Amino acid sequence: MSARLLMLQGTMSHVGKSVLVAALCRILYRDGLRVAPFKAQNMALNSYVTPGGLEIGRAQAVQAEAAGLEPEVEMNPVLLKPEADHRSQVVVLGRPIGSFSASEYYRMKPSLLPIVLDALERLRSRFDVVIMEGAGSPAEINLKAHDIVNMGLARRVEAPVLLVGDIDRGGVFAQLVGTLELLPPEERALVKGLIINKFRGDAALLVPGVRFLEERCGVPVAGIVPYDPDLALAEEDSVALERPPGEREGVLDVAVVRLPRIANFDDVDPLRREPGVALRFVSRRGELGQPDLIVLPGSKTTVADLEHLRATGLAEAIVRAARDGAAVVGICGGFQMLGRAVLDPDGIESDRPRADGLGLLPVVTVFRPSKTTHRVEARVVADRGLLAGCRGLQVRGYEIHMGESRGEAPAAPFLLLARSGEPCQVPDGALSDDGWVLGTYVHGLFHNRDLRRRMLLNLARRKGVPLPEAPEDAADPYDRLADLVRAHLDMRLVYRVLGLEQ
């Protein structure tokens, strides 16, 4: 029997569709159903690597984990990774097929539809339920002709839809009513319920609005889901970085450079949740100050972001802060920026054959046409500076990069022991002579608790301050999310829409 379908679409980007899909995956998983997530086309700079070394959107990896699964490429068959000049790298079934302009991709979409439908059918053959996620808004008139991710796909596979609006960003009634008004009757008929997401306050005050929505739209309001700022789930869109940071005191000041084309910024999420750490994102020279740790995250376009750092004065400020005692960690593109130079002789990433790096690590990066994507297991082999006392620690993470970085540095700080499940002995990264500037290609570095804690303890010891204790085991964030959503979503309606008995 083919899996039942349910699709969540939103009135705009970043209304919380991805999180709600993760919640439904965990709810149905705990109810004993085999459930899988699916997003036909995802535009995101945060991506992840499947066990087989294939690249998908980070949100689908989170949703798979919520469903008790390893992520599969079928869960996100088309991934768009934005680049400079209104272009995106297009990743199909986990492998990049090229860089295309918006108009080129628009013309390409009909050829991708069979791939999308085939991936969905493969999931449906193995699961009881597939929870589908739309992208952006289904009412984008200019994009409807070749839609493969919203109502165009829902109509083809006859998927019922729950429409999600974000009350936290304002105008939720206009969002929901306006979206439905712009849908043709056959698409509007697919919408079986409305969800008001990210609510703060007394839900009783919304009763008149709920009554209005149901009378005006002829569709039930399936739930009013509260906003929970403490949910420890990876964010996918850089829109999340636009929220003002919460006030948090910390003995350690960590500044993350917000690059224009920042990628995989969820690498720093574990630092945000550490007791004693005050994490902030900085975009301008005057915001940097003299933090204890500077993190240069991943970038989709290293050369362009390097140019941005120089144009804004951040490059000079980072180098000065490092010389004045700030520790620096560069991950992937951030690692490449820390070196002496980035070479692109074949024009893989830009039309500049060479760009000078920040010169904090004695390495040179050369871009190659092939993309490296692996799940990795590694071991720390250095024992100084940030990594003092870390030698021998095991590290898990993933690689996504198109460059190779080599140089005159001492032995690399990490040794990769396995890539995509295959044993290997591959050095990774670079560490400055004093040990306080670290570069690596391993995404997820800070998700390794023992390594993260020892690095923070080394920073605190260097500063002469005590680091607060961290709890040993945090509660499962997916269970917390599922409990929250189940309490505020009409699950009887959800099961009825699915055609299943609860």
Give the Å distances, CA to CA, from 17 to 57, 225, 263, 288, 446: 14, 12, 20, 33, 26
Q: How many angstroms separate the CA atoms of 204 and 209, rounded?
A: 10
Contact in structure between 244 and 489 (CB atoms under 8 Å)? no
Residue 426: strand, helix, or coil: strand
332 classed as catalytic: yes
Name the catalytic one among 308, 374, 401, 443.
443
Task: Phi first, then psi: give them for residue 38, nearest 5 degrees.
Answer: -155, 130
Measured CA to CA, the distance from residue 215 to residue 393 in angstroms comes to: 60
- Give the span between the Cα atoms of 185 and 182, in whole angstroms: 9
Give the DSSP H or E segment for 269.
helix 269-272
CA-CA distance, 130 to 36, in Å (whole number)? 5
DSSP 8-state assignment for residue 444: T
Q: What span, in angstroms and rounded, lies between the C-alpha atoms of 234 and 229?
A: 12
> Is 86 considered catalytic here?
no
Give which of 151, 132, 117 is closest to 11, Cα–Cα.
151
The tally of CA atoms less than 13 A away on the side-chain side of residue 501 is 0
Question: Which residues fall within 8 angstroms of residue 144, CB to CB, at 6 or more apart?
Answer: 151, 152
Q: Is 136 helix (H, G, I), strand (E, B) or coil?
A: coil
Out of 332, 374, 390, 401, which one is annotated catalytic? 332
DSSP per position, 282-340: E-SHHHH-S-SEEEE-EES-HHHHHHHHHHHTHHHHHHHHHHTT-EEEEETHHHHHHSS
Q: Is there a contact between 145 and 50 (Cβ–Cβ < 8 Å)?
A: no
- State the burial class of residue 451 (Cβ atoms within 10 Å of its Cβ: 0-12, 13-18, 19+): buried
- Taking the mean position of all CA atoms in its chain, how far away is CA 210? 32
> What is the DSSP code (8-state) at residue 54?
-
Supply the residues annotated as catalytic.
Answer: 332, 443
